[in-house]
Structures are given as structure tokens and as C-alpha cells.
Amino acid sequence: MYVCLCEGVTDGQIREAIYEGCCSYREVRSSLGVASKCGKCACLAKEVVRDTLNELQGNQAALAYPASFVAA
């Protein structure tokens, strides 16, 4: 879904930017140019960033105690 019509940025592109290392809305904005023109998309863009970062944190928490391995 398009988040920023002015720059043609989708939610998938925002997620991809986070997967590639952006750690905040500010970094996503700098990288993709989202919310840099009219600003109407800022709330939705922030929501996508927040949800994606929360999802990543949840995935990392699930991996905090990986399955135990036995040395052969």
C-alpha cells in the first residue's frame, strides 16, 4: 500500500529500509524521503515504522533463548 504519494513510497519499502538498518522514523525519512513534501503521510509512516520495529524486537526476544545444542 502506498504510504507517501508525493514520493511514491510503499509500506513495503519502509519495512525493507528498516530490515536494511534504519532504526528510527528519522532514518527512514532521510533514506526514502517519506513525509518530506506535504507531510500528510507522516502519521501512517510513523505507524509502519513503529509496528515494524516492534515486530523485529518481538522476533529477537523469541530468539533470546534458542534451542539448546548438544556437542557431538
Delimit the domains of the chain by residue range: 2-62
pLDDT of amino acid 30: 96
pTM: 0.82
The cell for 56 is: 523485529
Question: Which residues touch 64 (CB under 8 Å, ≥6 apart)?
Answer: none
The CATH architecture to which 2-62 belongs is Orthogonal Bundle (1.10)
State yes or no: pLDDT of 46 exceeds 80.
yes
pLDDT of amino acid 57: 87
